[in-house]
Amino acid sequence: MAIKENYIIEKSNILVELKNTKMTLQELRFFCVYLSKINPRDISTRRVCFSLSDFQKIMGFGKFNIKQIKQATNNLLCKPVNISNDDGGYTGFTLFNLVRVFKDDFENWNLEIDVSDNALSLFFNLKGNYLSYQLWNVLNLNSVNQIRIYELLKRYEKLGIYEIKISDLREYLCISDKYSRLLDFKTFVLDNCQKALAENTDICYTYECGKRGSRGKWLSIIFRISKNDKQFDVPELDGFIDNNSASQSDCPSDERLQPSEQLRPYLSSQPYLSGDFEKDLSEADIKVLCNMLSCKVLRSSEREPNPLRKRLKLLYGRMIVNSTEPIRNPAKYLCSCIEHLDPDKLPSLPDDSFDVDMYEKICINNYEVNGFIDNNSASQSDFPSDERLQPSEQLTFDGFDNLISGVPLHRTDKL
């Protein structure tokens, strides 16, 4: 099924400008496909039906797993929207209000989704206040930032220029607390999106500093937007869905394993966290974990063995700092943590003045103060009997400057 001209997204400006939606890449792609299947001039098309296999593939799932599907649809039903009122207040509601998973008359599984009544004005009868583009433009974009930058700039394609405050752009992208250094923001957001849009969409852009503050600080960015003359092979929707699906050949028939679960059998089973990076992780563990990290790192120069090992060591130290109870099987715990890292919000490595070994020692001391390490008496009886790991979402990979008492660690620092 080729993505023809009728696969058009007409998205209200309010939806385009929404902040803090916190959709994942898969959820945002699904939302785009949903928008392409409704007719904004016919409210009766509000309910869209997908084959369940297509929904699973769009969301990156494998074989049928009702628990996984239920979690994904619950997340879609919980996406809040807050619309500002003229009096300074706001009105809040969810985008979707119904999901139905069912078998049709031919015993095929389907998923039906319906928009919330309160959100109808954002989807139908838009009266000119909307953005229009072809679905294929966003299918090959690989991050939420890339899709949102595309939609933001597409609105101003005819004007050819758009200026926005950096603080507003950060809020729009939900990265207000990330990339505090301008170099990181340019590298991982502006340059990354610029390259992705030039290679995959019908627009391209350049950017420059707009207004400056004290000491030359960038306060705003001027985007110069133009039509992309590159010739594209318009993808097929079925082809995209199939290519986006996870490989099912290695998955058990009852459910799809998460990547960390697929790798877990290859990791060692150190029964407790000793606080020694080299003891807790074998070289084989480090290789597997670094390979996982390499999929999260956008900059190619940081996918080399040494930078990956350095980043893994920092994550190991962060794991110790965040521990509120003893950690069992540290290699497998780190595996789950890496799986949940967001590539868009992964900070750059510290510069060469940052001492990774010093950081690790401080982290271990902190862990010992909490009484979690006792090399003379530690045994498996001290740990929970349940082998399952604690939710790795609790571990975030924040910037490294203020991890220990707000003091950056450099080679000149002493314990």
Per-position pLDDT tens, the chain of length 415:
344 445 899 999 999 988 777 788 889 999 999 999 999 999 999 999 999 888 888 888 777 778 888 989 999 998 888 888 889 899 999 999 999 999 888 888 999 999 999 999 999 998 888 999 999 999 889 899 999 999 999 999 999 999 999 999 999 998 888 888 888 899 999 999 999 999 999 999 999 999 998 888 899 999 999 999 887 666 666 666 655 553 333 333 333 334 444 455 556 666 666 667 777 788 878 888 888 777 777 666 677 788 888 888 888 877 776 666 667 777 888 887 787 777 766 656 666 555 656 555 556 555 554 555 444 333 433 333 333 334 333 334 444 333 333 333 333 333 2
The DSSP symbol for 200 reads H
Residue type, 342: D
In this prediction, residue 366 carries a pLDDT of: 54
Place of tokens 């752009």: 169
> H/E element holding 12?
strand 8-12
Task: Find, among 66, 36, 65, the residue nearest to 48 by Cα.
Answer: 36
- Whether 363 contacts 320, CB under 8 Å: yes
- Whether 38 contacts 112, CB under 8 Å: no
- Whether 331 contacts 279, CB under 8 Å: no
Q: Report the DSSP pairing between strands 109-115 and 130-134.
A: unpaired
Sequence-separated (6 or more) residues with CB below 8 Å from residue 8 = 36, 132, 133, 134, 135
- Please state, as a whole number, how many other Cβ atoms lie within 10 Å of the Cβ of residue 24: 14
In this prediction, residue 398 carries a pLDDT of: 42
- Whether 299 contacts 187, CB under 8 Å: yes
Task: Find, among 42, 43, 38, the residue nearest to 7 by Cα.
Answer: 38
Is this structure's pTM higher than 0.75? no
CA 187, CA 176: separation in Å to the nearest integer? 16
- Whether 57 contacts 241, CB under 8 Å: yes
Sequence-separated (6 or more) residues with CB below 8 Å from residue 54 = 241
In this prediction, residue 367 carries a pLDDT of: 53
Token reading at 35 = 């928008």
Burial readout 131-141 (b: 16 or more C-beta within 10 A, e: otherwise): bebbbbbbbeb
Q: What angle do CA 179, 202, 51 make, to 5 degrees?
A: 90
Burial readout 181-216 (b: 16 or more C-beta within 10 A, e: otherwise): eeeebbebbbebbbebbeebbbbbbebeeeeeeeee
- Whether 338 contacts 292, CB under 8 Å: yes
In this prediction, residue 36 carries a pLDDT of: 92
